[in-house]
A and B are shown apart, each in its own frame.
Chain A
Amino acid sequence: MSLTISKNKLGGLLCLLLGIAVFLGSRQFPPLDDGYPGPGLFPSIVGVCLTIAGLVLFLQHLPKSTNEGNPQERPRPLALASVALILLGAYFGIAHLGLLPIVAVVILGTGLLIGGDIKWIIAASLITTALVYVLFSLILGVPL
């Protein structure tokens, strides 16, 4: 129970900080020539609303609603970070290797991190990449 409440408080705090940052950031945009609010008005309203919502969320004690503790669950933050890193690598690698090898690597890496059978993961990687090639490159003419 205490873990869920702290999650809500953390969410509220992050929302509060984001709201303040958005509000301050939107103050940098110039007003209109005749002194009326300009492009910063709408984001600053969003910032204020986020700040208020974050504050209420931080102060409010919400009941436990989601993410009930699953006994089968084994949290793996490192695996999670690895998937994000693979995708970051995809962003940098695509200019050098093209889309198809990157897709194959992403499927392979994610499959291994999920814990799938290596033979099936390799097969999934090859089949999906081939389908992407046929559909996008051969049929739709998208440069990959």
Chain B
Amino acid sequence: MMEFFTWQSLLALVLGALYGSLFGAIPGLTATLAVALFIPVAFFLDPIVALPAIISISAVAIYAGDVGSIVAKIPGTPASAAYLEELSRVAKRKGPFYGLGLCAMSSATGGIIGTLLLIALATTMASIAKNFSSFEYFWIAILGLTAGVFATGGSTLKAVVSLLLGILFSTVGIDPTLGFPRFEFGQPDLLSGLNYIVAMIGLFGFSEVLEHVYRRAKGTDALSVSDDSPGRMFFSLPWIPIIKRKWMVLRSSLLGVLVGFLPGAGADIGSWVSSSVEKMTHRSEGDAEDEVIVIAGTSSNNAAVASAWVPSLALGLPGDTITAIVLGVFLMKGITPGPLLFEQQPELIWSLYLTFLLANLIMLPVFGYLTARMASWLIRIPLDILLSAIAGVCVVGAYVINNSSFDILIMTFMGIIAFGLRRGGFPLAQVVLGMVLGPILEQNFMVSAIKSRWDIMSFFDRPIALVLMALTIVIIMVGIRTQRLRKSTD
């Protein structure tokens, strides 16, 4: 373990956090992109230096994605979209330092819980994950979609329509199971499908600009900056709701860990499931409920970031896109992931655990505060100036992902669709959820159906699948009951 405490690895940790905080705060630039751009540098570094940097980049960049939610209502990751509206309202009421402090402290708590569980259960969890087949993944996707439908405070029917639109968008391009091109309208740029980051920029960022151009209602969305000291707002006050709801934080982190360790599921679904569960179980709307949902989503999100490393380390299967890149780094360095890794390279494994703890305990709060400072500066800019700059950033964000002008067209199209959906009172976050879970649902449905020779009963044969199906039914029942209670209290 002492190998970790070299000046090189600690410097990598700090520089990684700085890089991640700057990268994650810019709409369109994601944690995955930050890690991907770091790979050429990682190639020349020792794994004991490269891995701390990657962990630090991903932990801080995922948190920094919430800066976009506060400043421009553009979530940095699909996970952030799960609690976008709630975070935006919290920041509007109590200021950006409190909003981002709540995210940073919950993320750090979730990340630490996730890491401790990772230390205790890594090999056991990996062996459970090995038993998951396409049937179980199909039910996981159904579970996530069901939770997403009932997560909305408004009309369930409109949430279903938004979700279906998202799933429909996910069918554009090459079919993930059979390789057949669909809905590409003869346009080669559509063969690879609609990138959900481009879609998110259009759905949340550009539609916000369109909304203001249409209404010309100036200054109505300004955030308040509290007179209280920024340090107190960021570091101290957010602990009050977190400690008050410690069991909820633990529950959300556990949910994040459970979902995150499934290969391919990752932090996004963890965040959605946790925040949806809290949305369903809280009847009253208001300040406290918004904070609860933000805490649930962010703690679950970072807990899943840690547990997504389990299938990568123990089975060689990526838990999410970041760990997929990390597997590439392992192979580049001649490290073979698998159960033997824990026996053959214990110093590497322990340095990973330690890095996760340091990244969540020190890097996330410190660099989180820096990004909150940046956000507080940005929100002082008059709304009309900020919105016109956001329009430019939307163009840049959409273009640089693939260096493709076609993505600007997609972003504009998504912005116009989102403007129409907003006007009609349809939720936007469910569109993103549909785009993320659609391919997982389709691929696992088709694979399961083909391998069982279209015996639909095979979806109900396996015990874990049955447990997931039962959970889905429970979510539907709780969701319907909550909707009824909401209506009766209204």
A107 touches B217 (CB 8 A): no
Say if the beta carbon of A20 comes within 8 Å of chain B. no
Q: Give chain B nearest CB distance to A129 CB in angstroms.
A: 7
Say if the beta carbon of A67 comes within 8 Å of chain B. yes
Q: Give chain A nearest CB distance to B217 CB in angstroms.
A: 5
B396 touches A83 (CB 8 A): no
Cα-based distance from A88 to B389 in the complex (angstroms): 18
A87 touches B180 (CB 8 A): no
Q: Taking CB as reference atom, which chain B residue is nearest A87?
A: B412
Name B378-406 residues within 8 Å CB distance of A. Answer: 382, 384-385, 387-389, 391-393, 395-396, 399-400, 403, 405-406
Name A88-144 residues within 8 Å CB distance of B. Answer: 88, 90-91, 94-95, 99, 102-104, 106-108, 110-111, 113-117, 120-121, 124-125, 128-129, 132, 135-136, 140, 142-143
Binds A, one of B207-215, B224-232, B291-299: B207-215
Cα-based distance from A104 to B171 in the complex (angstroms): 34
Q: Mark B421-448, 1 if CB is under 8 A from A, else 0.
A: 0111110000000000000001001100
A111 touches B384 (CB 8 A): yes
A43 touches B168 (CB 8 A): yes
Cα-based distance from A60 to B160 in the complex (angstroms): 14
B392 touches A128 (CB 8 A): yes
B391 touches A66 (CB 8 A): no
Q: Give chain A nearest CB distance to B22 CB in angstroms.
A: 9
A121 touches B388 (CB 8 A): yes
Say if the beta carbon of A70 comes within 8 Å of chain B. yes
Q: Taking CB as reference atom, which chain B residue is nearest A79?
A: B213
Knowing A43-B171, A73-B217, A121-B388 touch, does A91 contact B406 (C-beta < 8 A)?
Answer: yes
Binds A, one of B129-137, B150-158, B190-198, B462-470: B150-158
A114 touches B212 (CB 8 A): yes
A120 touches B382 (CB 8 A): yes
Q: Mark B164-177, 1 if CB is under 8 A from A, else 0.
A: 11011001000101
Cα-based distance from A67 to B215 in the complex (angstroms): 11
Please indicate the chain B residues that have their CB under 8 angstroms from the CB of A107 in the complex: 388-389, 391-392
A74 touches B216 (CB 8 A): yes
Knowing A39-B180, A79-B214 touch, does A110 contact B157 (C-beta < 8 A)?
Answer: no
Say if the beta carbon of B220 comes within 8 Å of chain A. yes
Say if the beta carbon of B408 comes within 8 Å of chain A. yes
A46 touches B399 (CB 8 A): no
Say if the beta carbon of B120 comes within 8 Å of chain A. no
Q: Mark A39-68, 1 if CB is under 8 A from B, else 0.
A: 111110010011001101100101001110
Interface magnitude class on chain A: 35 or more
Q: Taking CB as reference atom, which chain A residue is nearest B410?
A: A91
A102 touches B385 (CB 8 A): no
Cα-based distance from A113 to B391 in the complex (angstroms): 12
Please indicate the chain A residues that have their CB under 8 angstroms from the CB of B161 in the complex: 11, 15, 50, 53-54, 57
Please indicate the chain A residues that have their CB under 8 angstroms from the CB of B393 in the complex: 128
Cα-based distance from A142 to B450 in the complex (angstroms): 43
Interface of B is mostly: helix
Q: Give chain B nearest CB distance to A12 CB in angstroms.
A: 9
Please indicate the chain B residues that have their CB under 8 angstroms from the CB of A10 in the complex: 424
Contact partner, A129, options B180, B210, B392, Cβ 8 Å: B392
Cα-based distance from A8 to B393 in the complex (angstroms): 33
Q: Give chain A nearest CB distance to B381 CB in angstroms.
A: 8
B382 touches A136 (CB 8 A): no
Knowing A11-B424, A90-B395 touch, does A42 contact B388 (C-beta < 8 A)?
Answer: no
Please indicate the chain A residues that have their CB under 8 angstroms from the CB of B416 in the complex: 84
Interface of A is mostly: helix
Q: Give the most central of A76, A106, A115: most B CB within 10 Å.
A: A106
Please indicate the chain B residues that have their CB under 8 angstroms from the CB of A113 in the complex: 213
A7 touches B392 (CB 8 A): no
A83 touches B215 (CB 8 A): no
Please indicate the chain A residues that have their CB under 8 angstroms from the CB of B446 in the complex: 41-42
Cα-based distance from A76 to B171 in the complex (angstroms): 34
Q: Mark B305-339, 1 if CB is under 8 A from A, else 0.
A: 00000000000000000000000000000000000
Q: Give chain A nearest CB distance to B150 CB in angstroms.
A: 15
Knowing A115-B216, A121-B385 touch, does A29 contact B182 (C-beta < 8 A)?
Answer: yes
Cα-based distance from A42 to B442 in the complex (angstroms): 7
Q: Mark B6-27, 1 if CB is under 8 A from A, else 0.
A: 0000000000000000000010
Cα-based distance from A54 to B217 in the complex (angstroms): 31
Name B337-390 residues within 8 Å CB distance of A. Answer: 382, 384-385, 387-389
A46 touches B171 (CB 8 A): yes
Q: Mark B257-300, 1 if CB is under 8 A from A, else 0.
A: 00000000000000000000000000000000000000000000
Say if the beta carbon of B183 comes within 8 Å of chain A. yes
10 residue pairs A–B, Cβ–Cβ below 8 Å: A10-B424, A11-B426, A39-B178, A39-B180, A56-B157, A65-B155, A90-B408, A110-B209, A116-B382, A116-B384
Binding site for A on B (CB under 8 A): 26, 37, 154-155, 157-158, 160-161, 164-165, 167-168, 171, 175, 177-178, 180, 182-183, 206, 209-210, 212-218, 220, 382, 384-385, 387-389, 391-393, 395-396, 399-400, 403, 405-406, 408-409, 411-412, 415-416, 419, 422-426, 442, 445-446, 450, 454
The 3 closest A-B pairs by CB, nearest first: A111-B388, A66-B425, A116-B384
Beyond contacts A66-B425, A113-B213: 9 other A-B pairs, Cβ-Cβ < 8 A, are: A54-B161, A56-B157, A79-B213, A79-B216, A87-B408, A87-B412, A115-B384, A116-B384, A135-B26
